[in-house]
A = this chain, B = another copy of it.
Amino acid sequence: MTTTRKVTSLDVANRAGVSRSAVSRVFTPGASVSERTAVKVREAANALGYRPNVLARAMLTGKSKIIGLVVAYLDNHFYPTVLELLSEALEREGYHVLVFMAAHGAEDIEDIVSQILDYQVDGLVLASVALSSDLAKRCRASGVPVVLFNRKLETEGELAVVSDNRMGGRLAAEHLIALGRTRIGHIAGWEGASTQRDREAGLMDGLRAAGLGLFAREVGDFRLPRAKDATRRMFDTPDRPDAVFVANDYMAFGVMDVLRSELGLSVPGDVALIGFDDVPSAAWPAYALTTIRQDAQAMVTTTVEALLSEIGGTDVMPPDPLPVTLVRRATA
Contacts and interface: CB of A to CB of B under 8 A. Distances in A.
A158 B185 CA distance: 55
Number of contact residues on A: which range applies?
Answer: 35 or more
B280 A75 contact: yes
Interface stretch (A82-90, A125-133, A237-245): A82-90
A51 B98 contact: no
Interface of A: 1, 3-4, 6, 49, 51-56, 58-59, 64, 66, 73-75, 77, 79-81, 83-84, 87-88, 91, 96-101, 103, 114-115, 117-120, 138, 141-143, 253, 256-257, 260-261, 280-281, 284-287, 313, 315
A74 B64 contact: no
A143 B66 CA distance: 22
Nearest to A68: B96
17 contacts: A1-B143, A4-B143, A49-B138, A54-B120, A55-B58, A55-B120, A56-B59, A74-B80, A74-B81, A83-B83, A87-B100, A88-B101, A96-B100, A253-B284, A256-B286, A257-B284, A260-B285
B55 A119 contact: yes
Contacts of A75: 80-81, 84, 280
Contact of A59 (B55, B73, B91, B287): B55
A99 B101 contact: no
Contacts of A253: 281, 284, 286
Contact of A87 (B80, B99, B261): B99
B81 A117 contact: no
A101 B81 CA distance: 12
Contact of A114 (B51, B88, B142): B51
* Copies of this chain in its oligomeric complex: 2
B101 A91 contact: yes
Nearest to A89: B101
Given A84-B73, A281-B281, A286-B256, A53 B98 contact: no
A176 to B, nearest CB: 22
Given A4-B141, A56-B59, A74-B81, 10 more contacts: A49-B138, A55-B59, A55-B119, A66-B119, A79-B80, A84-B101, A87-B101, A96-B119, A253-B281, A286-B287
Contacts of A3: 143
Contact of A98 (B88, B97, B118, B280): B97
A276 to B, nearest CB: 18
Contacts of A100: 87, 91, 96
| Candidate in A54, A260, A287 with the most chain B CB atoms within 10 angstroms | A54
A88 B75 CA distance: 14
A138 to B, nearest CB: 8
A1 B141 CA distance: 9
Contacts of A101: 84, 87-88, 91
Contacts of A261: 285-286
Nearest to A114: B51
Given A75-B280, A119-B54, A4 B142 contact: yes
Contacts of A64: 55
Contacts of A114: 51
Contacts of A74: 80-81, 83-84
